[in-house]
Amino acid sequence: MTVLVTGGAGYIGSHAVLALLEAGYSVLALDNLATSSRESLRRVERLAGRQLTFIEGDIRDRQLLDKLFAEHTIEAVLHFAGLKAVGESVAEPLAYYANNVGGSVTLFQAMADAGVHRLVFSSSATVYGEPESMPLSESAPTARASNPYGQSKLVVEEVLKDLARADARWSIALLRYFNPVGAHPSGEIGEDPQGPPNNLMPYIAQVAVGKREQLTVFGADYATRDGTGVRDYIHVVDLVEGHLRALEVLENCTGAHVWNLGTGRGYSVLEMVAAFEAISGKRVPYTLQARRKGDVAECWADPTKARKELDWQARCGLEEMMADTWRWQSKNPNGY
Ligand code: NAD
Ligand code: UFG
């Protein structure tokens, strides 16, 4: 079975391509390399001992999509392509709506015309907005996001729900990721942000490897255990396993289905720093600063629905997340 993976060269996409190849799927990876490197997929091929087909191109390019669907018997699409920097999305909303919403709609139109109706979409826990209570189950209300990036995820979710209502042939998974971290245990592929990382885990890893001086902890006055923000960090290998399960389950059901992909456990920023220091043996100096605009105090998943319906749950604990992040970062101090 052939799967089209958009954004396949990126952090999560490259791990998903590897898992698909290992599970026996044929993979077509489409990526414009806007925020990633061609090298990630070369390493994936080496790790898998199998070839994939890479197409450098854009999901907004309708002609290219039509050609891909005409030339290959694609049965399903894993759609990771998009831009994800929250701050940048505030400064450049049009780029975010054009890529994440416009690009997605173009992809869905090409799929519809090619008769391909099975889709797994990368959504985010950001669609829950400022949560009323914890943990977050899929029935919790969604809310207008505080930034265009989050808003683009919410809009695409709504587009896909409308699509599934309009045409019963669609089988769609809306996977709401909590906080993906970690890397493949080989240390060969991992998260390689361009410029200063926006997210906690790559920032910690870059401080530890000597690329950045110190971590800024955004807010120490939240109503949490130690005052710092609490999140549900999930190992990227567990996360992509959830995609493979969703792909299988979609084979036998139609409609649009929402699943949280999280562990169900929250850790604070300072707990993450301490766990990383313990595993890596490196010091991670930090300063406590003001809260970051738009951040929630705490956010963790109720993963029950995915466990019941996908027969999936996260297996890796914090130690593996830290050890695998550090192996990737120390083997590749400057990324790919
Ligand atoms: P990433 O930036 O590493 O990967 C995204 C990939 O999409 C990149 O390789 C990029 O070059 C490609 N891309 C961007 N625009 C494209 C376009 N128009 N056409 C073709 N390719 C394009 O990010 P990631 O962390 O791997 O995230 C993958 C998906 O998961 C994204 O949709 C992201 O919004 C979503 N997500 C990520 C997180 C997270 O914390 N990493 C959390 C929730 C949701
Ligand atoms: N943090 C710091 N210093 C940093 C970076 C982050 O203290 O340099 C803190 C944040 O304030 C927050 C925690 O670490 O308390 C996690 O922050 P991240 O930026 O790593 O992750 P977020 O929870 O803010 O956002 C992530 C993804 C979004 C996604 C969201 C869904 O970046 O794309 O999870 O919950 F929408």
DSSP state, residue 249 = H
Please report which helix (H) or strand (E) contains residue 31, including its range.
strand 26-31
Sole residue written with tokens 């400064």: 91
Render pLDDT for 252-299 as a digit per residue (tens, 0 to 9).
999 999 999 999 999 999 999 999 999 999 999 999 999 999 999 999
Here the tokens at position 119 are 């889709």
Render pLDDT for 312-328 as a digit per residue (tens, 0 to 9).
999 999 999 999 999 99
Render pLDDT for 194-205 as a digit per residue (tens, 0 to 9).
999 999 999 999
CA distance 265 to 50: 35
128-145 mean pLDDT: 94
Percent of the chain with pLDDT over 90: 98
Give all domains of the chain, ordered by start, each with its CATH number: 2-183+232-264+302-315 (3.40.50.720)
Q: Which candidate in 25, 128, 149, 267 is catalytic?
A: 149
- Examine the residue annotation and report whether 149 is marked as an active-site residue of this protein: yes
CA distance 62 to 185: 37
**Ligand index nearest the alpha carbon of residue 177:** 1
Q: What is the 56 CA–ligand 1 centroid distance (Å)?
A: 15
Is residue 142 lining ligand 1, measured as CB closer than 6 Å?
Answer: no
**Which residues does a 6 A CB cutoff place in the pocket of ligand 2?**
84, 124-126, 150, 178-179, 198-200, 203, 215-219, 229, 231, 269, 292, 295, 299
Atom number, ligand 2, closest to the C-alpha of residue 197:
8
| Amino acid identity for residue 159 in this structure | V
pLDDT class for 67, splitting at 50, 70, 90? very high
Residue 284 is predicted with a pLDDT of 98
Q: What is the 83 CA–ligand 1 centroid distance (Å)?
A: 6
CA distance 10 to 205: 18
Candidates 4, 11, 155: which one to mutate for ligand 1, based on the most atoms within 8 Å of Cβ? Answer: 11
Is residue 12 lining ligand 1, measured as CB closer than 6 Å?
Answer: yes
In our burial notation (b when 16+ CB lie closer than 10 A, e otherwise), range 185-197 reads eebbbbbbbeeeb
Q: What is the 287 CA–ligand 2 centroid distance (Å)?
A: 16
Atom number, ligand 1, closest to the C-alpha of residue 199:
40
Query: Is the distance from CB of 290 to CB of 155 less than 8 angstroms?
Result: no
- In this structure, the dihedral spanned by the alpha carbons of residues 106, 107, 110 and 111, taken in order and rounded to 10 degrees, is -150
Judge residue 3's burial from the number of C-beta atoms within 10 Å of its C-beta, 0-12 exposed, 13-18 middle, 19 or more buried: buried
Residue 132 is predicted with a pLDDT of 87
Q: What is the 141 CA–ligand 2 centroid distance (Å)?
A: 21
Strands 230-231 and 267-268, sheet pairing: antiparallel
Is residue 9 lining ligand 1, measured as CB closer than 6 Å?
Answer: yes
Q: What is the 6 CA–ligand 1 centroid distance (Å)?
A: 9
| Sign of the alpha-carbon torsion through 79, 83, 87, 91 | negative
Backbone angles phi, psi at 217, to 5 degrees: -90, 120
- Sheet hosting strand 255-261, strand order edge to edge: 53-56, 26-31, 2-6, 74-79, 118-124, 171-177, 255-261
Here the tokens at position 133 are 């209570």
| Sign of the alpha-carbon torsion through 201, 203, 204, 208 | positive
Cα 157–chain centre separation: 15
Say whether 149 sits in a helix, a strand or coil.
Answer: helix
Render pLDDT for 206-226 as a digit per residue (tens, 0 to 9).
999 999 999 999 999 999 999
CA distance 206 to 275: 15
Render pLDDT for 79-130 as a digit per residue (tens, 0 to 9).
999 999 999 999 999 999 999 999 999 999 999 999 999 999 999 999 999 9
Q: How many CB atoms lie within 10 A of CB 255?
A: 12
